[in-house]
Amino acid sequence: MTTVELQEELHSNTRRTRITYRGLVNGQPAAIKCYRKPLFGLVHWIRALRRGKKIRRAGGPVPPIVFAGWVASARCFGYGTAFLEGYRPLRAVLMAEPSRSRQIDIIRILGRAMADIHKRGIEQPDGNLTNFLMGEDSQLSMVDEDDIRVHHGMLSIGVATSNLANVAARLPDEEMVEILLTAYLDMAFVEDGSKWDSGAFWTSVQGWKKMLESKRASRNITPERKFD
């Protein structure tokens, strides 16, 4: 029988229907997401489990699944992955880094990682930089798997453009957006028969920025925050 122990809350959505904990699965460190409210939770838990399996088959940068089932102590459906010791949300890494040169290096790593997951047909619809974790060795991992989509084959140029722009919209200035884009294109991600449209990309970046500003305003959040 699998034993699950929830130890420390790490993150929650606004409605607290999905709460991530640091905990133990059979005594081993794990990140465990609890899907609350039985029917709502079950639907999202099933989606996370199905998508999680697809992401791993596609070779996405995610930790192994260590648990999926009912957590009686919290009355929720749980989805647990191996806990990544030493990894921090990418936003926190960038915010804490005093060197702009190092920040730019990290943005390049992110651009290359985005190119790789797009080649694998993986889309992270929520471009929030807290959905990427960085380890001490500068390796990136993705979280919030229930929102990740896996397409058949590499992403179409339109989906890739919008998805990269979504991430780019979180960066504080145009130089960093250019760095991200250059690193991405250096990986030669181009759908067969398609041509990258830089104008469409920059238009999409501005569209995402306006949407994020509107979203923050509706929630009384600071209008503009770095790397958010």
> How far, rounded to the nearest angstrom, does the alpha carbon of residue 151 sit from its chain's CA centroid?
16
Q: Are residues 77 and 129 in the same domain?
A: no
Q: What percentage of the chain has pLDDT greater than the value 90? A: 78
For residue 143, the domain's CATH number is: 1.10.510
Three-state DSSP state, 199: helix
Three-state DSSP state, 3: coil
Higher-pLDDT residue of 62, 187: 62
In a domain, 41, yes or no: yes
DSSP state of 171: S
Query: Domain range holding 156?
Result: 88-218
- Tens digit of pLDDT for each residue in 49-63? 999 999 999 999 999
Q: What is the pLDDT of residue 191?
A: 54
In a domain, 174, yes or no: yes
Q: Are residues 168 and 57 in the same domain?
A: no
Q: Are residues 68 and 174 in the same domain?
A: no
In a domain, 223, yes or no: no
224 — pLDDT class (breaks 50, 70, 90): low
Q: Are residues 55 and 120 in the same domain?
A: no
Question: Considering 36, 59, 82, which residue would you say is the last residue of a domain?
Answer: 82
Find the farthest-apart pair of alpha carbons in the chain and give their distance in angstroms, rounded. Answer: 56
The reply to whether the predicted model has a pTM over 0.75 is yes
Q: For residues 50, 56, 60 and 62, what is the CA-based torsion angle, rounded to 10 degrees?
A: 90
Q: Which residue, among 185, 168, 190, 163, has the nearest Cα to 107 in the 3D structure?
A: 168
Q: Are residues 51 and 108 in the same domain?
A: no
Six token digits for residue 125: 């619809």
Q: Are residues 47 and 78 in the same domain?
A: yes
Specify whether the CB–CB gap between 124 and 146 falls below 8 A: no
Q: Are residues 133 and 68 in the same domain?
A: no
